[in-house]
Amino acid sequence: MKNVILSGGNGTRLWPLSRKLLPKQFLKLFDNTSLFQLTIKRNLDICDSFMILSNIEQYFIALDQYEELNINKTAEFILEEEAKNTAAAIAFSAFHSDKDEILFVTPSDHLIHNNAKYHEAIQQAKELAKDGYLVTFGITPDEIHTGYGYIEAQGFDVVKFHEKPDYQTAKHYIQANKHQAKYFFNSGMFMFKAGVFLEELKLHSPNVYKQALNSYNSKQTINQQQIRIKNMHSIPDISIDYAVMEKSAKIKMIPAMFGWNDVGSFDSLTKEIPTKEGIEINSQNNFYYSLEDNKLIAGIGIEDLIVIDTADALLIAKKGQTQNVKQIVEKLKQQHKELLTTHTTVYRPWGSFETLIDKNGYKIKRIIVKPNQRLSLQKHFHRSEHWIVVSGTAEVQVGQKSYLVRPNESTYIKAGEEHRLSNPGKIPVVLIEVQVGEYTKEDDIIRIEDDYKRDE
């Protein structure tokens, strides 16, 4: 059985913690472990291999976090040029698998409690999948919730899928369950044979099948571990629920008895991680979280608030209203789009950089380059760069000349010069970069050669 992990989402409902280039599934919020890593760890003993669906920009974060776990199992990466929802993503995984292989499809950003019950549900689903069914998992609701779709079921048989309800409808579902459990949260987890899924997709959503197959057939194979799916613009943007699950006659549902949290809002996150300790006066029932470990938080005369602090944004919300973060995100798309994309720290395949100061005419960064990694050979038209090495030994190429720069030494690259920064050593290189010029945005980079094929 293969675990297909859907990890390409942006997690905007957890902004400002979650950003496009570091979404919630990769945030290390749980004892320095991410939701993505927890997904792999809990399925390690269940599945023979992993297939990770993501986008090209998040590939290197996913690869780094997978390798951090130091596990001896195969992981393949299918990277999408565009986001086209779950029907196409799962189709790619099925095209790339043997038709009789069982695929266990899971989101990468859910928390599961009670592994024994989880394993029991997986085994039940596996038996049904062997018999040719498309299996979904229903979560028994523990509260009135309007943010999830619902599945109406009798035992293993699905009666109907229901859209996200209004409050009164959700309340009716919960009240009906007091007599006999029949309404369940749609967990977004599935299990089936690859070939059975493709047959049902072709039957019920033939255009999705056709366009996804066309894109898959024009895939770019980077290496044994990584393929890239391009030419995706013609694929309908549709979920597996709409494309297949709500139409097929081969659906079964496992009533899941394990604890489940999709961490889809700060209200749900506060149930899973402790608040940051602060100083309070006449205040109660508040939740604080800060990415700055040394920042003190103090509250006076406040209650029932969720306070989320990052280096470049501060969110303050009333408990029970954090689903409305999506409205903030919509406003940011018009006014401060960059705040949806990156933190002040940005991760790259070779390491990371943190913007310390960004002013008109200059920018200061802290750059970390991992051992045996190097940046692209590049040039800039609008800025020159000063590099001061803090630790490690950097190898610098400028034009045809290469030389080493050691701690407390510096070098200078003029605007327009081709250059490259490498770390040939065994420890990370840490340096301070000072950019000076009329334009210092990240898009002033002309890549001439890149080990990571980012411009292909």
Query: What is the domain partition of the chain in residue ranges?
Result: 2-264, 274-335, 345-449
Angle, vertex CA 435, rays to CA 432 and CA 437, nearest 5? 170
The predicted-structure confidence for 117-152, as pLDDT tens digits, reads as follows 999 999 999 999 999 999 999 998 888 888 888 999
Residue 455 pLDDT: 63
pLDDT > 90 in the chain, percent: 80
Question: Sign of dihedral through CA atoms 159, 163, 164, 169?
Answer: negative
The predicted-structure confidence for 301-344, as pLDDT tens digits, reads as follows 999 999 999 999 999 999 999 989 999 999 999 988 889 998 88
Residue 173 pLDDT: 86
pLDDT band at 385; cut points 50, 70, 90:
very high
Residue 388 has pLDDT above 70, yes or no: yes
CA–CA dist 304, 283 (Å, integer): 9
- In this structure, what token pair is assigned to residue 193? 């044979």
Q: How far is CA 225 from CA 48, 59, 76, 93, 105, in A?
A: 16, 11, 5, 13, 19
Select the more confidently predicted residue: 90 or 139: 90
Note whether 232 and 216 are within 8 A (CB): no
SS3 13: helix
What mean pLDDT is predicted for residues 417-430? 97
The predicted-structure confidence for 13-27, as pLDDT tens digits, reads as follows 999 999 998 999 999
Angle, vertex CA 113, rays to CA 108 and CA 116, nearest 5? 110
What mean pLDDT is predicted for residues 359-385? 96
CA–CA dist 393, 117 (Å, integer): 51
Q: Give me the DSSP letters along 283-304.
A: -BS-EEEES-TT---EEES-BS
Q: Which CATH architecture has domain 345-449?
A: Sandwich (2.60)
Residue 8 pLDDT: 87
Residue 172 has pLDDT above 90, yes or no: no
Residue 39 pLDDT: 97
Average pLDDT score, the chain: 93
Strands annotated E in 310-380: 314-318, 345-348, 351-359, 362-369, 373-374, 377-379
pLDDT band at 456; cut points 50, 70, 90:
low
SS3 192: strand
Q: Do domains 2-264 and 345-449 have the same CATH topology?
A: no
Note whether 258 and 166 are within 8 A (CB): no
Residues in the chain: 456
Strand partners, 433: 365, 387
Threshold 0.75, pTM exceeds = yes
Directed axis angle between helix 85-95 and helix 194-204, to 10°? 130
The predicted-structure confidence for 195-243, as pLDDT tens digits, reads as follows 999 999 999 999 999 999 999 999 998 888 899 998 999 999 999 999 9
Most distant CA pair in the chain, distance: 78
- In this structure, what token pair is assigned to residue 223? 């290496």
According to CATH, the superfamily of the domain at 2-264 is: Spore Coat Polysaccharide Biosynthesis Protein SpsA; Chain A (3.90.550.10)
What mean pLDDT is predicted for residues 292-300? 91
